[in-house]
Structure 1
Amino acid sequence: MKYKPEHGFPYYIELVKDKDCRSLFSSLSTATFLDSINEEKATFRYGPGKWSIKQIVGHITDHERIKMFRAFLLSRGESIQLWGYDQEFLVNNSRFDDVTMQQLVLDYINVRKASISFIDMLSENQLKIKGLAQQHEITLEDFLKSIIGHEIHHIGIINKKYMSGNHEN
């Protein structure tokens, strides 16, 4: 999978700046925002081939699920490449548009609760473990922060392209 300059590492880490990992995951702002989107708006696509808001929410949740598993392996000392994945394939083979926005938000919240539980079990030494992500050496803590950076990126897209009326490609 080829990344645009505004995707991946270190872009996602830059979006969270120097904020604390645990507080980033504990923020309720995304869940509150997503919960405010009605069902009709959630199915909107601003152009042909673009994802609906429901698909973006499902993607954010899938991304966290996938990345947290990799973080788990790294935290246990498994020497792994923190590889990418084919997001288009995963979204195209989902049923995000067939479920309610409320179900998607609940799934997001449940995944986030599991992530917080995992993070709360990590020691400071585990957060310093390093792995490779797209040829960048990265600590587990920064890898975790990138999950929230990814989320911030997509929430920004929802705000700009779906909610504001600015529907440019």
Structure 2
Amino acid sequence: MNNMKVTKAEISLGEYKPYYDLYLQRVLSETTLLEALDQKEELINFFNAIPKDKLDYRYETNKWTPKQVLQHLIDTERIFMNRALRFARKDFTELPGYDEDHYAEHCFSNNRTIDTLLEEFQALRMSSIFLFKSFENEMLTNIGQASGGPFSVRVLPFILCGHQKHHIQIIKERYL
């Protein structure tokens, strides 16, 4: 089973909504599925380097704090892994999107320590890697509908990788 060797270059436009190009363009074409999922150390090191007084900082009213951004990354990964599991198992029930601002408002991540958020992220990411390692190659090309558009199983890790890079860049530019 070489499903973890699929590269981003193998992804075609019909496997995702064009909106997600915003994230996919941040991932190199030769990046493999495993490499896309194995970006956890980059994120952990980045958040550990943020000064403690900046973790609850908002650069503007109604903008998220870095801890809320991390919780958003966790929430998004959970939702995407649910999509991956369902589509891999040929459950093609159309799935709704989610209101990320509503989730951020009700997550209470600012009451948590950065260590507990990073522990949760690391455990989730390991679970995501094991989930994808369990998929057969033919499962990766299954396409389901979510958030009003198509998603193949194999595109989801690449979107998550680019999504993570996107938010790291925003924090660098607006918070630090």
Calculate the TM-score normalised by the size of structure 2. Answer: 0.82
Q: Which amino acid aligns with 1:92?
A: E
Structure 2 stretches lacking a partner, 5+ long: 1-17
Identity over aligned residues, as a percent?
A: 25
Q: Which amino acid aligns with 1:61?
A: I
1:22 aligns with 2:46: no
Partner of 2:47: 34
Partner of 2:12: none
Work out whether residues 36 and 157 of structure 2, in 8 Å CA contact, stay in contact via their aligned partners in 1: no
CA 1:131–1:14 in structure 2 vs 1: closer, same or farther (change >3 Å)? farther
Deviations along 1:108-155, whole A, 9 cap, x unmatched?
111111111111111111111112345543321112311222111111
| Shift in Å, 1:158 | 0.7
Structure 1: distance between partners of 2:68 and 2:168: 12
Structure 1: distance between partners of 2:148 and 2:35: 27
| Shift in Å, 1:58 | 0.6
1:10 aligns with 2:17: no
Structure 1 stretches lacking a partner, 5+ long: 1-6, 164-169
Calculate the TM-score normalised by the size of structure 1. Answer: 0.85
| Shift in Å, 1:49 | 1.0
1:107 aligns with 2:113: no
Work out whether residues 9 and 134 of structure 1, in 8 Å CA contact, stay in contact via their aligned partners in 2: no
Q: Which moved more, 1:78-87 or 1:103-112?
A: 78-87
Work out whether residues 97 and 148 of structure 2, in 8 Å CA contact, stay in contact via their aligned partners in 1: no
SS in 1 for 2:50: coil
Structure 1: distance between partners of 2:156 and 2:94: 12
Alignment of 1:56-71 (within 5 A): 56-71=69-84
Deviations along 1:69-114, whole A, 9 cap, x unmatched?
1111011011133532001111101110001111111111111111
Partner of 1:150: 163
Partner of 2:56: 43
Work out whether residues 38 and 101 of structure 1, in 8 Å CA contact, stay in contact via their aligned partners in 2: no
1:77 aligns with 2:78: no
Structure 2: distance between partners of 1:23 and 1:63: 18
Partner of 2:15: none
CA 1:135–1:66 in structure 2 vs 1: closer, same or farther (change >3 Å)? closer
SS in 2 for 1:132: strand
Could you tell me which of 132, 136, 139 is aligned with 2:152?
A: 139
Aligned length: 157
